[in-house]
């Protein structure tokens, strides 16, 4: 199968294998990610330089605390005023797009890739990939997993420990496994410190 045909299959969310996708290996930024994770806090300029080498695009005033992990790195696009806490994992076989003003708590996984249920279809690491979009001003709590094809809408909050398997509308609080909307964010939240006991 030609590389162009594989790319079409990937874009359609169809199953493809490790061997078929091997031509994409030069897009992996594993060496730079390794170096970033070992760069001391006293060298913020070096960290920033490495981040611009690793990511597909990165905005201003971006904080990404090491260690972080990515399959590629080059398929991740981050906007301005981003804060990513430790142990953020990007499974970025296809694009992950993160808007402005997004905050992500420790030990979050954003995975664009899943695998077929039947073991015969997982031969040669058979998989499918769908992009993830996180819109502006989203806050994602600790230990959240965001699955392939999910879009999290503007301003939303994802409660700690959630597994987000479906897209979440803007300005809502969502939590649980599977993640579900529990309420809308309103002007009343301007006067409270937290979203309430439901996100703990």
Q: Annotated catalytic sites, by residue?
A: 115
Residue tagged 């760069």 (tokens):
39
What contacts 24+ positions apart, CB below 8 Å, involve 142-147?
A: 142/85, 142/105, 142/106, 142/107, 142/108, 143/105, 143/106, 143/107, 143/108, 144/105, 144/108, 144/109, 145/108, 145/109, 145/111, 146/108, 146/109, 146/110, 146/111, 147/111, 147/114
What is the C-alpha radius of gyration for the chain, rounded to an integer number of angstroms?
Answer: 18
């Amino acid at each position: 199968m030609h590389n162009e045909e594989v790319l079409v299959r990937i874009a359609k969310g169809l199953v493809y294998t490790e061997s078929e996708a091997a031509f994409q290996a030069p897009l992996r930024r594993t060496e730079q990610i390794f170096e970033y994770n070992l760069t001391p806090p006293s060298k913020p300029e070096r960290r920033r330089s490495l981040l611009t080498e690793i990511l597909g695009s990165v905005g201003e005033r971006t904080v990404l605390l090491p260690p972080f992990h990515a399959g590629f790195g080059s398929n991740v696009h981050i906007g301005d005023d981003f804060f990513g806490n430790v142990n953020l994992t990007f499974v970025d076989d296809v694009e992950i797009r993160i808007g402005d003003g997004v905050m992500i708590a420790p030990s979050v996984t954003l995975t664009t890739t899943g695998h077929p249920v039947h073991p015969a279809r997982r031969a040669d690491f058979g998989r499918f990939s769908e992009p993830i979009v996180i819109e502006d001003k989203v806050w994602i709590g600790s230990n959240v997993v965001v699955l392939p094809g999910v879009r999290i809408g503007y301003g939303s909050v994802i409660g700690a420990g959630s597994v987000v398997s479906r897209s979440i509308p803007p300005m809502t609080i969502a939590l649980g496994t599977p993640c579900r909307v529990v309420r809308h964010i309103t002007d009343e939240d301007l006067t409270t410190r937290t979203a309430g006991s439901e996100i703990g």
